[in-house]
Amino acid sequence: MGKKRKSSHKIRVQFEKNRQKRVRNQNLTKQSLEDLDQVADMEHGERLSGKGSVNRYRTILTDEDGSQREIDESAVLSGRVLKCIGANHVVVQSDRNHSKPEVFTCTVRRVVRTLSRDSRNPVVAGDHVKFLPVNETEGVIERVEPRDRTLSRGSRREAHVIVSNVDQAVIVASVDEPVLKPGLIDRFLCSTEKGQIRAIICLNKIDLGDRVQLQRLVGQYARLGYPVVMTDAVQGEGIDELRRLLIDKETVFTGQSGVGKSSLLNAIQPGLWRDTGEVSGDTNKGRHTTRVTELIPLEAGGWVVDTPGIRQLELWDVAAEEVEGLFIEFRPHVSHCRFPDCSHTHETQCGVKSAVERGQISRLRYKNFLRIVSLENRHVRNPAFEVDFFDDQLE
């Protein structure tokens, strides 16, 4: 009996609007007969172009669920995207039958960009791709394989996927310069929970803060099961502990601008020579030094991903009703709420609020939850919700 042929499906894909041409107006005669008073105001000439929507669509073959475009597997190579610079993507070949991996600079097939309608970046660092070699150093990305474990944020009503297919994320926060923001840490934790990535919290520049006060924050996250590392990239404190957590893992470093992500990577593996910058003395905010997201191999095994700093993190594809599930300590108490659709904000007999009163849930974490829910409901960001950790007392 012959091998069963893989079923294919045809779909019609509409291309980007900036590629479309204006359609000829076919109703000029009808409009003039219906409203004679406007004939003088109508255009006397018209530039003709195209045949309308017929030229705006293309039929392509996909798999059964329509998520992946079918391509000639025999002509393409498998690869991993190391970094993206504008329209160019650095891809390392990952086919097993090649002993020495080769690096290609690839563009992206237009249909791949079109299929990614709700994403700001159709190809990101960490993606597994199929690409067609053009010569020994260049190629064209024909397909992006399904992503697993992504770190994303919202950007102008689109998904901004920062990195894909990683094992864990190190959320770097500085004790000072820029100021410590637990609210931003909790937003990153929500994003890692959403992307199913293990989170590690790194408090950097500990020489600038009071270690006694910091222990309260460390204890808050440690009780939840999140590993917390206190580091000083300049003096080398905590670097060995952080390095051990990275061995044989694929880890993305993320956080605000100026918190010391690149400095930590330079300390973890001397010789990387990642560019670093100073914090602005006027605003106490970091300046963008790292411009692109890049995968970097570690000598001890594994990969790290250096990312540009983020000043604000808008959660992507998270409704206000979903936020409770991203705060892991809320989960055992949600079932004790009187109302099944309890928002844990104003209702009576709320299991989460009762847990806060009993000290089972941190008051600071609960305040950050309220801020996130409020912002997701209004679809706006309010900088006033970000407060200095030492102005909020952990009770």
User: 321-338 pLDDT, tens per residue?
Assistant: 899 999 999 999 999 999
Instruction: Judge whether 202 is annotated as a binding position.
Output: no
Instruction: Judge whether 195 is annotated as a binding position.
Output: no
Instruction: Judge whether 205 is annotated as a binding position.
Output: yes
User: What CA–CA distance (Å, rounded) separates 166 from 198?
Assistant: 9
CATH of domain 151-306: 3.40.50.300
Q: What is the pLDDT of residues 136-150, one digit of tens each?
A: 899 999 999 999 899
Q: Do domains 77-144 and 320-391 have the same CATH topology?
A: no
Could you tell me the pTM of the whole model? Answer: 0.76
Report pLDDT for 393: 41
Q: For residue 105, report the phi and psi dihedrals to the nearest 5 degrees.
A: -100, 115
Question: 320-391, superfamily in CATH?
Answer: Probable gtpase engc; domain 3 (1.10.40.50)
Q: For residue 104, what are the β-bridge partners?
A: 91
Q: Is the pLDDT of residue 395 over 50?
A: no
Q: Is the pLDDT of residue 350 over 90?
A: yes
Instruction: Judge whether 258 is annotated as a binding position.
Output: yes
Instruction: Judge whether 236 is annotated as a binding position.
Output: no
Q: Which sequence spans correspond to the domains of the chain? A: 9-40+47-62, 77-144, 151-306, 320-391
Name residues whose C-beta falls within 8 Å of residue 41's C-beta, 6 or more positions apart in sequence: none
Q: Indicate the average pLDDT of the chain.
A: 79
User: What CA–CA distance (Å, rounded) separates 206 from 189?
Assistant: 21
* Residues 220/389, Cβ–Cβ less than 8 Å: no
Q: Is the pLDDT of residue 385 over 80?
A: no
Instruction: Judge whether 89 is annotated as a binding position.
Output: no
Structure tokens at 212: 């006694």
* Residues 111/60, Cβ–Cβ less than 8 Å: yes
Instruction: Judge whether 281 is annotated as a binding position.
Output: no
Question: What is the arithmetic mean of pLDDT over 332-356?
Answer: 94
User: What CA–CA distance (Å, rounded) separates 128 from 164?
Assistant: 9
Instruction: Judge whether 212 is annotated as a binding position.
Output: no
Instruction: Judge whether 367 is annotated as a binding position.
Output: no
Structure tokens at 370: 């309220």
Question: What is the arithmetic mean of pLDDT over 68-81?
Answer: 83
Instruction: Judge whether 97 is annotated as a binding position.
Output: no
**Maximum Cα interatomic distance, the chain, rounded to a whole number of Å:** 83
User: What CA–CA distance (Å, rounded) separates 249 from 356?
Assistant: 35
Question: What is the arithmetic mean of pLDDT over 30-49?
Answer: 57
Instruction: Judge whether 32 is annotated as a binding position.
Output: no
Instruction: Judge whether 106 is annotated as a binding position.
Output: no
Residue 9's alpha-carbon distances to 109, 210, 218, 306, 387, in angstroms, are: 20, 62, 52, 39, 52
Report which of residues 72 and 92 the model is more confident about.
Answer: 92
Q: What is the pLDDT of residues 232-256, one digit of tens each?
A: 999 999 999 999 999 999 999 999 8
Lowest model confidence (mean pLDDT) among 105-109, 201-205, 388-392:
388-392
* Residues 305/253, Cβ–Cβ less than 8 Å: yes
Report which of residues 199 and 85 the model is more confident about.
Answer: 199
CATH of domain 77-144: 2.40.50.140
Question: What is the arithmetic mean of pLDDT over 268-286?
Answer: 60
* Residues 177/205, Cβ–Cβ less than 8 Å: yes
Question: What is the arithmetic mean of pLDDT over 380-391?
Answer: 39
Instruction: Judge whether 336 is annotated as a binding position.
Output: no
Number of other CB atoms surrounding residue 122 within 10 Å = 18
Structure tokens at 92: 């390392």
Report pLDDT for 165: 95
Instruction: Judge whether 210 is annotated as a binding position.
Output: no
